[in-house]
Each structure stands twice: as C-alpha cells, then as structure tokens.
C-alpha cells in the first residue's frame, strides 16, 4: 500500500540500571554478605485480639501461586490438631481450600458467597473437615459475580464483617484465604481482619510485591479499618540456591522481627498433598514440608498467644 503509515520508533525506556556485560556475572558469596544493609521497612503492626473472640487473619499476596492456600491449609490443620478452634474462609473463587481439604465443592450449598449476601445464614455456611476442630467455608465460582454485585451496594467493603460477626465468639482463629488480586472481596477480607500474614516466595520480585502490598494495607488502615496491621511475613518454596538465599537475607534485613521462621522449603510432598485432599500432616508428616509447616505454625501460635495441647 502506498499510504501505509510508518510507525515511529519506540521510545527508549528509562532503565533502572544500564547493564554492561560484566554486570551479568554471578556475584561471589562474599560480595553478597558485604552488601550494605537495607533500610528496615516500617510496617504497621497488628494489635492484640480482644478477649472472647477469634483473631481474624487474612493470608494475602496479590502475586499468584506463592503458597497462600498451602499455608492456610497447613497452619489451620496444625493448630486445630493441637486444640485451637479454627475456621478457614476461602475468599477465592478458585476454591482450592475445599480441594486441599478433601471437600467436594460441587455439593456445597452455602458458600462464602452466602456469607457475603445473607449474613444471617452464616452458621449454615460452615462445613466440618476431616480434621477435628477445623471448619471451612467453601469458596467457589459463584464468588466471581459477587464483585459486581457488591460494587453497587452501600457499605460494600463491610459485608464480610456482618457475615463473620456471629461466628467470631465460637473460634480462636479465623483464617481468610484470598485470591491473587485486589478486588472487593479481598478488600472485604482486609476490612474484617485484625491482621495480615504475607507468604512470599524467595524470588527476585518478592520485595517489590510486599512494598506494594504494604501501601494497600496503609490505605485500608487510613480509610476503612484503622486496627489492621501485619502479623508477619513468611517465606515459601525456598530452595538452596544463591538467589533464594540472597532474597532471604534481603527480606530478613527489610522486615526484621516481622519475619516468621522457618522458610518453607520447596518440597514435592506439599504439592502432592492437595491431590489426595489432605494436609501435609496426613500426607507426609515427616517430609521437609511437614516439618517446616509444623515449626512455622508453632511460631505463629506463640505470636498469637495460643497454648497448644
Ligand atoms: N513449599 C512448596 N513446595 C513445593 N510446592 C509447593 C509449595 N508450596 C506450594 N506449592 C505448590 O505450588 C502451587 C501454588 O501454591 P498455592 O496454591 O498454595 O499458592 P497460592 O498463592 O494460593 O496460589 P493462588 O494465588 O493461585 O491462590 C500449588 O500447586 C502448591 O501445591
Ligand atoms: Mg490460593
């Protein structure tokens, strides 16, 4: 064609670092350990739970596949097996909590959706799992439409508070699993929570992700829920590579005592367990994954003031 428009050259992008060939060389371990310590990122801390009701904790990271659901299932299981009354609420339409706990979500009538739309029916949304003391409110596909329904409602960020309210006095801990996005359902979870727990993968983008999440939490504190704070940041899918240990030390320096040990090692048994519909405590309790989640849950129990039986 004669009049074909010529696309102008793309603009040069402003680069953070101008790479030269040398800069691609793998650094020596000694170089890493002599790096300047990072600034500590001051994150708001959560307040203690008022007496007589459950602590409500949202497990959150807008990045997908970092181990949120695996963490929820395995912490909840460990604590429930040691006498803590735990309710898991799956606020993700993927519904992975049900699968991981062996529940057939296609046969469940009242789900997290009901909790949002009919708070008076909240008690009927709970399902007992194979783990004594661990109950689940199932998330599934019907949560997709709720984002739009909520958007036209007055007080749309506070629906989950109403749903959870009648349940709180019957549990010690309510864990909210969230989707890898920041829609109204996740905002509802944050508004109904005392605290957030953030699983991060020890990979390069981890710090950037948490910084973004921290600004969301500050915004929610300012506008909707002044008591919301961090209960901790924990590491998932940790492997013994140079990059993983480098990111681990960066996280430790940045978040200080908010980091919860131990890092959860990458372990195939943790990935297999959901296909059996059981937590790691039943699938492979002696695996590295079983060991790490046990210790992590014990450390969290201490922070949350639960005495394990
Ligand atoms: N420590 C681990 N080692 C190996 N595999 C793991 C580990 N933790 C989680 N996985 C697997 O990685 C995948 C993602 O984990 P998970 O579903 O818990 O992440 P998620 O953050 O909940 O994902 P989404 O954002 O999609 O909800 C799953 O297949 C899970 O079984
Ligand atoms: Mg998930």
Q: Which residues contact 135 (CB under 8 A, 6 or more apart)?
A: 86, 87, 88, 126, 127, 128, 129, 171
Helix (H) or strand (E) holding 201: strand 195-201
The CA distance from 252 to 232, in Å, is 11
pLDDT of amino acid 170 = 96
Q: Of all atoms in ligand 1, which is nearest to the CA of residue 66? A: 21
Distance, in Å, from the CA atom of 16 to the CA atom of 261, rounded to the nearest integer, reads 32
Domains in the chain: boundaries: 50-303
User: 271: Cβ below 6 Å to ligand 1?
Assistant: yes
Contact 175, 76 (CB under 8 A): yes
pLDDT of amino acid 2? 54
Whole-angstrom distance, CA of residue 82 vs CA of residue 198: 23
Whole-number Å distance between alpha carbons of 266 and 270: 8
pLDDT of residue 194: 98
pLDDT in the model for residue 30: 47
CA–centroid distance, 264 to ligand 1, in Å, is: 11
| pLDDT for res 39 | 65
Q: How far apart are CA 75 and CA 174, in angstroms?
A: 11
pLDDT tens across the length of the chain (309 residues): 556 788 888 877 766 655 444 444 444 444 444 445 456 778 899 999 999 999 999 999 999 999 999 999 999 999 999 999 999 999 999 999 999 999 999 899 999 999 999 999 999 999 999 999 999 999 999 999 998 899 898 899 999 999 999 999 999 999 999 999 999 999 999 999 999 999 999 988 888 889 899 999 999 999 999 999 999 999 999 998 999 999 999 999 989 999 999 999 999 999 999 999 999 999 999 999 999 999 999 999 999 999 999
**Beta-carbon contacts of residue 88 (< 8 Å; ≥ 6 apart):** 72, 73, 76, 97, 101, 134, 135, 136, 137, 174, 175, 176, 177
Tell me how far apart the alpha carbons of residues 141 and 139 are, in angstroms, rounded to a whole number: 7
For residue 69 and ligand 1, the question of a CB distance below 6 A is answered with: yes
Question: Which residues fall inside 5 Å of ion ligand 2, going by CB?
Answer: 68-69, 96
CB-based burial label for 10 (10 Å; 0-12, 13-18, 19+): exposed
What residue has token string 């790691």?
Answer: 280
What is the Cα–Cα distance from 84 to 76, expressed in whole angstroms?
9
As a whole number of angstroms, the distance between CA 36 and CA 250 comes to 10
50-303: CATH topology:
Rossmann fold (3.40.50)
Cβ atoms 280, 289 nearer than 8 A: yes
Q: Taken in order 230, 236, 239, 244, is the CA torsion positive or negative?
A: negative
pLDDT at 116: 95
Nearest Cα residue to atom 3 of ligand 1: 266
Which of 58, 61, 66, 67 has most ligand 1 atoms within 8 Å of CB, for mutation?
A: 67
Q: In this structure, are residues 105 and 95 in contact, taking their beta carbons and an 8 Å threshold?
A: yes
């Amino acid at each position: 064609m004669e009049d074909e428009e010529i696309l102008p050259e793309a603009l040069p992008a402003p680069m953070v670092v101008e790479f030269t060939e040398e800069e691609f060389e793998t650094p020596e371990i000694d170089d890493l350990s002599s790096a300047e310590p990072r600034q500590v990122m001051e994150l708001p801390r959560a307040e203690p739970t008022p007496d007589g009701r459950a602590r409500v904790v949202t497990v959150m990271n807008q990045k997908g596949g970092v181990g949120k659901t695996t963490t929820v299932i395995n912490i909840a299981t460990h604590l429930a097996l040691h006498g803590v009354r735990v309710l898991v609420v799956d606020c993700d339409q993927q519904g992975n909590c049900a699968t991981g706990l062996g529940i057939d979500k296609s046969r469940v009538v009242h789900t997290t959706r009901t909790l949002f739309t009919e708070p008076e029916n909240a008690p009927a949304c709970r399902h007992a799992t194979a783990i004594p003391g661990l109950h689940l409110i199932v998330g599934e596909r019907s949560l997709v439409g709720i984002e739009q329904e909520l958007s036209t409602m007055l007080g749309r960020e506070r629906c989950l508070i109403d749903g959870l309210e009648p349940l709180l006095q019957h549990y010690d801990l309510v864990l909210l699993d969230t989707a890898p996005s920041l829609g109204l359902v996740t905002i509802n979870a944050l508004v109904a929570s005392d605290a957030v727990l953030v699983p991060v993968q020890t990979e390069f983008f981890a710090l950037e992700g948490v910084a973004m999440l921290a600004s969301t939490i500050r915004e929610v504190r300012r506008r909707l829920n002044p008591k919301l704070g961090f209960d901790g940041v924990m590491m998932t899918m940790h492997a013994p590579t140079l990059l993983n240990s480098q990111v681990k030390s960066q996280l430790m320096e940045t978040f200080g005592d908010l980091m919860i040990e131990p890092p959860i090692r990458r372990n195939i048994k943790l990935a297999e367990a959901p296909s059996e519909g059981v937590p790691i405590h039943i699938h492979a309790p002696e695996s590295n994954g079983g060991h790490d989640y046990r210790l992590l849950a014990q450390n969290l129990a201490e922070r949350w003031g639960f005495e394990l039986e």
